[in-house]
């Protein structure tokens, strides 16, 4: 039987591997990094056997020729792409745990693809670099399509997370499980609006998330979110899945900063269950 010993949700961008040089952005970036240091410390103290990492992909591992809605890494090792300025790093996995999670999710009605040799882009590697800066723990990469329509609804992502949590609590491979969902918040990628940060959206989202009002987030129209907070904000699905897995009662906001050089509203939270 497994139990969750730690849970978090964070924004990310590959650009955050570069520290802004001076000005307000540098101070904002330092607050973000301090937030990740806080999370890294609490994660290490939780002594997990495995860290479930829920993220997406940016046309490196998955593309139009093969694009699952959900996939589960079922291997013993996951190679990082090392793109977009993120240092290349590979991660250990726990194959029997990945297989148990995939089997359990399929039995629960989620046709999650098993991806034994899945490679990880900055959606995974960027937050992991910051959370595992000077130590290591095996990971389970969980992919949700947040990039190319048709996307799973926010409600479906939340239901997926709740099913994932049920599977973790009933499997017998890994006892102490940590989980992080990562992506967003407001940012536009590859559009004329790139560089825009909607702090109003970010603040409203964080208000709902930290107070545990997940069903209200899940009810948000996907097109409305993308129109108002950018195509990168589609990644709030990963936050919903992580929070759903641990039956979150809320979350603690550790940091939120709109960093102009990173073109992204960056938040760091620890989920409370």
The low-confidence residues of the chain, meaning pLDDT below 50, are none
Domains and CATH numbers, the chain: 3-272 (3.40.830.10)
Report pLDDT digits (tens) over 84-94.
888 899 999 99
The whole-angstrom separation of Cα 28 and Cα 267 is: 11
Per-residue pLDDT, 158: 98
Per-residue pLDDT, 83: 87
HEC string of 74-94? CCCEECECCCCCCCCCCEECC
Per-residue pLDDT, 222: 97
Q: Where do the DSSP E strands lie in the chain?
A: 3-10, 50-55, 70-73, 77-78, 91-92, 113-115, 139-144, 176-182, 250-259, 264-272
pTM of the model: 0.97
Please check whether residue 201 is in contact with residue 229, taking contact to mean a CB–CB distance below 8 angstroms.
Answer: yes
The whole-angstrom separation of Cα 177 and Cα 181 is: 14
Please check whether residue 47 is in contact with residue 176, taking contact to mean a CB–CB distance below 8 angstroms.
Answer: yes
């Amino acid at each position: 039987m497994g139990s969750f010993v730690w849970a978090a949700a964070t924004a990310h961008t590959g650009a955050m591997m570069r520290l802004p040089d001076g000005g307000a952005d540098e101070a904002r970036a330092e607050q973000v990094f301090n937030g990740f240091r806080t999370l890294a410390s609490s994660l290490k103290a939780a002594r997990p056997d495995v860290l479930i990492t829920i993220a997406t992909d940016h046309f490196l591992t998955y593309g139009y020729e093969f694009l699952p809605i959900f996939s589960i890494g079922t291997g013993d090792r996951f190679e990082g792409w090392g793109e977009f300025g993120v240092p290349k790093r590979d991660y250990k996995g726990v194959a029997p745990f990945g297989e148990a999670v995939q089997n359990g999710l399929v039995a629960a009605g989620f046709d999650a693809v098993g991806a034994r040799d899945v490679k990880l882009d900055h959606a995974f590697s960027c937050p992991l670099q910051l959370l595992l800066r000077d130590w290591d723990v095996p990971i389970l990469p969980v992919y949700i399509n947040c990039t190319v329509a048709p996307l799973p609804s926010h409600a479906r992502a939340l239901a997926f997370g709740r099913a994932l949590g049920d599977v973790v609590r009933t499997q017998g491979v890994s006892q102490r499980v940590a989980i992080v969902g990562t992506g967003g918040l407001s940012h536009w990628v590859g559009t004329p609006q790139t560089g825009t940060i909607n702090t109003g959206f970010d603040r409203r989202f964080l208000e709902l998330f930290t107070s545990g009002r997940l069903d209200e987030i899940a009810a948000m129209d996907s097109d409305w979110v993308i129109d108002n907070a950018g195509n990168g904000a589609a990644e709030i699905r990963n936050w919903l899945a992580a929070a759903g897995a641990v039956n979150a009662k809320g979350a603690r906001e550790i940091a939120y900063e709109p960093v102009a050089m990173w073109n992204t509203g960056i938040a760091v939270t620890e989920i409370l269950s």
